[in-house]
Structure 1
Amino acid sequence: MLSAVIFDFDGIIVDSEPMHFRAFNEVLNPIDMKISWEDYCETYIGFDDRDAFREAFAQNKRKFTEKEMKRLIAAKAEVFQSYIRNGDVTPLPGAVQLIKSIPVRLPVALCSGALREDIDPIIESLKIDGCFDQIVTAEDTPKSKPDPAPYILTCEKLGIDDPATAVAIEDTPAGIMSAKGAGLKVLAVTNSYDRGYLMEADAVTDSLEHVSRPQLENLIV
């Protein structure tokens, strides 16, 4: 029996990856660094902000201090918040409807590498902030996806003894690796990557518009 449905945030509920990409570059450009969209899609999607900045510095063969890292994370968060205030957030097809269709008796959670301050105003604007029994964000675990730590913590918070009875909904190879590493079943959505990159998932769909709760239950076999 299905014990929980756990949603990723960026690339599943909202089309915010282009916003994150813009925000990273807005912060990196003044210090003479830049991430290309190709590199962002290939490497950075699925990272939390800290790991993304670490990767950018590594790619540029530059060192950073902890103080500088904190400054960059705070600056990127402020830029991202400005996008939210400007109404730049677009919900992805079917996500809000699927979340609202899940019965109250079935736990629903968010497991994201985004900051809580980035997530809260968006789910409030979409009127789904009361739909989640637990929310795990970048601040909650020392390691981000593709490490399984975020999903392990989410299952612990939901009181799930057997992760194989829960379904994670993801859009990136890093997210799939994280959820599978924690023992969950995974439904992947081709919002950010072509189907060929997502074949480690238990099932792949082109849109959450085509997904219903009974279909999620069928993944638990």
Structure 2
Amino acid sequence: MLCTKEAALRAIIFDFNGVIADDETPHLECFQQALAESGLTLTKEEYYGTYLGMDERTCAAALLLKRDGRCAPSIHARIAERKATLFRDHTATQKPALFPWVSGFVERAAGPYRLTIASGGRREQILSALAGTAIEQHFELIVSADECAVGKPDPAIYEFALRQLNARRPRPPLLRSSECLVIEDSRAGIQAALKAGMRVLAVATTYPASQLTDAHLVVPSLDGIQPKDLAQRLFPPGN
């Protein structure tokens, strides 16, 4: 009889906006402006409701498909580039703030676990927000929209992150999806992580906790959270 190896926590994969960086509002405002310049409208309620907090590429494609019956690549690319420019201009004068509890949590997790960021945001935005912070060097891998063209709720970005982590340490035992904990703040992100076979901790920084119940565990924030406690609770022996 074959024995199934128990899953223990080995890696923590963080979404970025709304989990590490407290910058969801300026991101949405810049996105709304970029959309408006292409004749599209999107309210905050629609983004967090109808479009389930999808990443911007997926949301823009859905809006174009709804309006035009197709997603024209040229318009889609123009919206993405314009939004990136607007956000770059914004952060030139207002550096995105990290949530105050993030540094402590990341520093406590950095020794025992492999840490990764997997975000639908641009790499330059992530690196800029992390630059000069106490946690800048704690992430083994950063996967952004620049490396993975498919947005959440598709699981592609989390599957890609797992492959990249195993490529960095190819000797057995390879990291399994069941040994990864994803920290997310959106319903689309939760769905992406679940489809990738990973466990999910949701932080209610963007959505109310009542809308995040598909996650294995929902907390108000990472304030006071101990990574080892998450490991014991979400990866118990015999799971």
The alignment's TM-score, normalised by the length of structure 2, stands at 0.85
Partner of 1:185: 199
Which shifted more, 54-63 or 79-88? 54-63
8 A Cα contact 1:6 1:110, kept in partner: yes
Aligned sequence identity (%)? 29
- Aligned partner of 1:202 in structure 2 is 216
Alignment of 1:46-195 (within 5 A): 46-61=53-68, 63-159=70-166, 160-195=174-209
* CA-based RMSD: 1.8
Which residue is equivalent to 1:12? Answer: 19
CA contact (8 A) 2:150 2:157 kept: yes
2:224 & 2:145 partners in 1: Cα distance?
Answer: 29
| 1:26-57 per-position Cα deviation (integer Å, ceiling 9, x unaligned) | 21223332210101111446433322211222
User: What letter is aligned with 1:197?
Assistant: Q
Deviation at 1:179, TM superposition (A): 0.8
Distance 1:208 1:65, change over 3 A: same
Which residue identity does 1:14 align to in structure 2?
A
Paired residues in the alignment total 221
Q: Decide which moves more: 90-99 or 2-11.
A: 90-99
Report the AA paired with residue 184 of structure 2: E
Structure 2 counterpart of 1:220: 235
The structure where helix makes up a greater share of residues is: 1
Contact 2:13 2:181 in 1 (8 A): yes
Distance in 2 between residues matched to 1:45 and 1:123, nearest whole Å: 26
TM norm structure 1: 0.92
Q: Deviations over 1:161-218 (max 9, x none)?
A: 3211111111111111111111111111101111111111111100100311112212
- 67-76 vs 4-13, which moves further: 67-76
Q: Helix, strand or coil: the match of 2:54?
A: coil
Flag the 1:132–1:171 CA change in 2: closer, same or farther, 3 A: same
Q: Secondary structure at the match of 2:37?
A: helix
Q: Which has the larger radius of gyration?
A: 2
Mean CA deviation greater in 23-32 or 73-82: 23-32
